[in-house]
Structure 1
């Protein structure tokens, strides 16, 4: 538990300073307040309404695996909560500090050990910024084909901690598909290297135990991850459909015929207005953005095949220029002034399910929000942005322009909307989240998703983290 008396705090600080240096244990109030939150709406609302948001006692900034291990040994011994933090770009409260303790800021751990241009493998520390990393790779004709909307503020380790996804995941996979191995400091201070390669028959794979664990099972301190060459050619197309059903059917046919577009994003009418028209597109209705890439002849042939499929499904080609415009402005929607923010109440209630269930899921969630919450005049938009051979994900948002004035009432409304939408997801074969993570926001619903599975995760947590200090309150795991 967090120490409360002066000499206990002073002792803890001196122990930590001995490991990472005096300059890298930060106790200033303003810094601690910033480190208490990520992009989780509730914490920002709570702060803005003048309510108390628990802060960490210190921010600790290690530079090496050895320093992380030393910090973990101290915190394990004295039962100090530890919240690992990358860029702080998460929206689920995964880097918030509801139980105090320390924030383990990994920003100094930004070293690249090696870029293997023969095997196309990156070996690096987890704290390197996404944009900095991408620029360095691009200079060598390479890319980490992740490209999340948070690339300017997120970190390599954060990609893995929440099983993140980028705009080209349909072809290149999510972060969990790209990673080859990780080094992890366990809550006791022990260091674990997973097997060098993820494809093996050498017993159960431990890699994916830590990918997506959101700092609850240990601290990722080194990453080996697949790279890709920058493609020689990219081809674009925008397609307008009569409705969402036709667009989903076109996407299903593309994927079940085993084509591999790098990007395929279907926008409903509301998302076309918010995401496309607001960024300069001259389209309306339901629209699909498609990008193929690779060698010029292959990218062109694949696009031609996709164009035949979408027109079979009632799509009208809106032109390559509209598709290329999307690529150039793909991050604009996720930045000010287009990115929503407090005091507006909003949330991305996304999930993933199979092709048979995706349209009923979309229709049920849209109806729920417009009917049950009609008094709050909610807006609902959706796009379908990450496609698999068996199904697709829905990136859908609700917006409430005038939430309750009371902090507690706003919190209650926020949580109820999330619970209702999440239960629609589960009833239609979906999961609680596809690529933003669970954090504090959805942890309380984890046992509804899989009671037995959640119990097993808790048992693993208790084995690895007997003092229960790692990122307490996240993933719905017991304190």
Structure 2
């Protein structure tokens, strides 16, 4: 490995190749609960042999060529904020950090385009376009920790997605370095029928098919008006029906969040009566459109038995939405907690919710099994489950965690839902992917992986079953 490190230094510069223990330790893993648990319990992790920090796509290409020639695995690393085990570095691997692939490359107010290098922090990117009166419109909970390249790699969704779309709707063009060092740049055009859309190969590829080095976003002007609205319902079912009718009618509030009774009580006790399900709406756009949308949403919510709640609930959510306890802090209290996001069509979503929460409550030590919807579409919505358990024996936490995930995945597949809405597959969902894609779909994914990465060196153990 020392020979490879020397070759990398010669190609990229001495300061671009880090082998000190602290840097290597910081790049061992992401924030997956099982990795956090191993750390809390004092279990050792393998560390990368080196961390390389290229400054350009050609440097990324050279690093990948050198690692491929040496048959050394490469794990791309952005902000390290992933929660599904997308980064867990194998012994002897090289981590390719995008830390120095940072900053705005170009901003075009006329065409509403912004091109960023892939290692740019999400909040930094949003603040940069905000200076020009624009917005990317992508607000994941991890925005202060994640990178724009990471958004692409995980096929992320943001909190304002019901109006503005998910990352695949916002990405205008990509620059990607393939495992053999080839640099691919997609054309900046509003639409194309020039064969399959190559951007889609890399959206959700989780570092297994190459390294994203630049991302061009289609922007929008910051809204003229923004107003919140809240309602509470007798249960999740009537609230979901209200959302379905709002979206079906063509209204698109950017934020549409419906909490079950447990989460409404836990997070919004001051705004929602006990036993009720709270719906939060945030309307944005031209002032006239905002007022029309608010009136229409109120009528549709009322028709499903929704009672108006204090819109200050929306303000509270906006203020606290990204402040959540760390997994580590909960593990140190003897708990095991995680969230699991799935998707389903409107006819399947309520049975899916009921089946998952009922199944989770049967797991040893589980005292919370709740859910909410936070991303809605014409033909369905997502569910974001939370489970919390305190097993009698702390050493049972990993087993309880895996059992909760197994039950959630199997119930979702049994009800016809999709197993991953926006966090990606990583390691935690990998074994369940055949249930989503089918055997022919997995075979196609493996074929694509072999074509681009025949030696299986890019982020091994992630996403692709059996690769």
Q: TM-score, normalised by structure 2?
A: 0.95
Equivalence for 1:383: 372
Equivalence for 2:350: 359
Equivalence for 1:398: 387
CA deviation after TM superposition for structure 1 residue 335, in Å: 4.9
Is the contact made by 2:209 and 2:449 (CA closer than 8 Å) also made in structure 1? yes
Tell me the SS of whatever aligns to 2:150: helix
Query: Alignment length, in residue pairs?
Result: 464
Equivalence for 2:188: 196
Q: Which runs of 5+ in 1 are unaligned?
A: 1-8
Query: Mapping of 1:23-422 within 5 angstroms?
Result: 23-197=15-189, 199-277=191-269, 284=274, 285-332=276-323, 334-335=324-325, 340-342=330-332, 343-371=334-362, 373=363, 375-402=364-391, 404-406=393-395, 409-422=396-409
Q: Which runs of 5+ in 2 are unaligned?
A: none
* Regions of 4+ moved over 6 Å: none
Tell me the SS of whatever aligns to 2:350: helix
* Stretch deviating more after TM superposition (83-92 or 412-421): 412-421
Equivalence for 1:438: 425
Q: TM-score, normalised by structure 1?
A: 0.93
Is the contact made by 2:268 and 2:313 (CA closer than 8 Å) also made in structure 1? no
Counterparts of 2:284 and 2:403, CA distance in 1: 42
CA deviation after TM superposition for structure 1 residue 331, in Å: 1.9
Is the contact made by 1:236 and 1:320 (CA closer than 8 Å) also made in structure 2? yes
Aligned-residue CA RMSD (Å): 1.8
CA deviation after TM superposition for structure 1 residue 93, in Å: 1.0
1:39-64 per-position Cα deviation (integer Å, ceiling 9, x unaligned): 10111111222222121111111110
CA deviation after TM superposition for structure 1 residue 328, in Å: 2.8
Counterparts of 2:47 and 2:393, CA distance in 1: 25
Whether 1:452 aligns to 2:444 is no
Is the contact made by 1:237 and 1:324 (CA closer than 8 Å) also made in structure 2? no
Tell me the SS of whatever aligns to 2:231: strand
1:119-166 per-position Cα deviation (integer Å, ceiling 9, x unaligned): 111111110011111111111111110011101111101111101111
1:398-444 per-position Cα deviation (integer Å, ceiling 9, x unaligned): 111347433xx433332222112101111112112100000111112
Counterparts of 1:273 and 1:337, CA distance in 2: 21
Tell me the SS of whatever aligns to 1:350: strand
